[in-house]
């Protein structure tokens, strides 16, 4: 798979996550707490915040070295920030 393919899959996965978050919010939070509905942009933003706050480095012996975990953590943080920034610009 090329870099364009990986990029497309990643963007699709983030979009799916936002849509799922929006639906779950509608089904459970709006009904339970009588809060307003979220639009897709708001759901994407909250989904990215939740993913950023709950990301954990695996401590299992999965063959990765500690440095690789650090690089993965930094890369995930920058990726979440970049997607959040881009989404905020166009939402």
The pLDDT value recorded for residue 23 is 92
The pLDDT value recorded for residue 79 is 83
The pLDDT value recorded for residue 68 is 75
What are the start-end ranges of the H helices in 1-91?
3-24, 31-33, 40-54, 66-90
Counting as low any pLDDT under 70, the low residues of the chain are: 1, 57-64, 66-67, 69-70, 73, 91
Task: Round to whole Å and give the CA distance between 11 and 61.
Answer: 29
The pLDDT value recorded for residue 5 is 81
Please name the residues in contact with 3: beta carbons below 8 A apart, sequence gap of 6 or more: none
């Amino acid at each position: 798979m090329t870099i364009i393919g990986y990029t497309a899959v990643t963007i699709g996965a983030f979009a799916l996550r936002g849509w799922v978050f929006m639906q779950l919010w509608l089904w459970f939070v709006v009904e339970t707490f009588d809060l307003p509905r979220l639009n897709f942009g708001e759901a994407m933003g909250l989904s990215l915040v939740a993913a950023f706050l709950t990301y954990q480095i695996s401590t299992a012996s999965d063959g990765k070295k500690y440095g690789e975990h650090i690089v993965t953590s930094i890369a995930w943080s920058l990726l979440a920030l970049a997607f959040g920034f881009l989404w905020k610009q166009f939402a």
